Amino acid sequence: MAASAAAYKPHLAGGGSYIRPDIRLPAGIPASAVVAGIAAILGGMEGLGWRVLRRIEPSFTPPDAELVQTVAGVAHGVLGHRPAVNMRVGGSDSRVFRHAGIPTVVYGPTPFNMGGADEYVLVDELVAVAAVHALSAVQLTNPAAGPIVVRGPRGTAWPSPAVPSS
C-alpha cells in the first residue's frame, strides 16, 4: 500500500509529493536485495530522493518443524480435518520470536470484518482454537502422555493425536 501526500487539484501542478510503500518480503528474499533493486531503478532519477524507513528481514518456521506438525495434527483431531499449513505475509509478533531462534506458529479463529467497526469471530471456532492451543502445549511438553481426549462444546470429544511422522 502506498500513501501520497500531494493534494489532487486537476488544474494545478503540485510542488512535490511522497509515497510510503509497504513492501512485505517473502521468505528467502533478503531486504538488502530489495534495497539494491530499488537503488538501481530510482538511484539515477533527477529530483527524486528516497530512503528506507524500516527494514525487517523475512522469517518463517519450516512446515516440517515439530511445532507446525504438532499444531496441525492436534487441529486435525479437534476440527475433523487437517488445516491448511501455509506461510502468509502479514503482521504478527511471531517474527520477534523467530529472529531469536524460537519456532512460531500463528493459529487462530477466522476474523470477520478484520480491522473494521464490526470485527468478530465465531464463538465455537474460538473455543476450538483454544482447545488446539491447550492440547498442542500438552503434546509438546509431555509427548509420553499419549493421546488426550477432552470434551468440547455440546459434549464433542476432541482427541489430541500423536505427532504425525514426517
| Contact criterion met (CB below 8 Å) for 67 and 105 | yes
Q: At residue 21, what is the residue type?
A: P
DSSP 120: B
DSSP 112: B
Band of pLDDT at residue 84, cut at 50, 70 and 90: confident
Three-class SS state of 110? coil
Share of the chain above pLDDT 90, in %: 30
| Residue-range domain boundaries for the chain | 1-58, 66-160
Digit-coded pLDDT (tens) for 145-165: 766 666 665 556 655 554 444
| CA dist., res. 8 & res. 22, Å (int) | 22
Residue 126: phi, psi to the nearest 5?
A: -65, -40
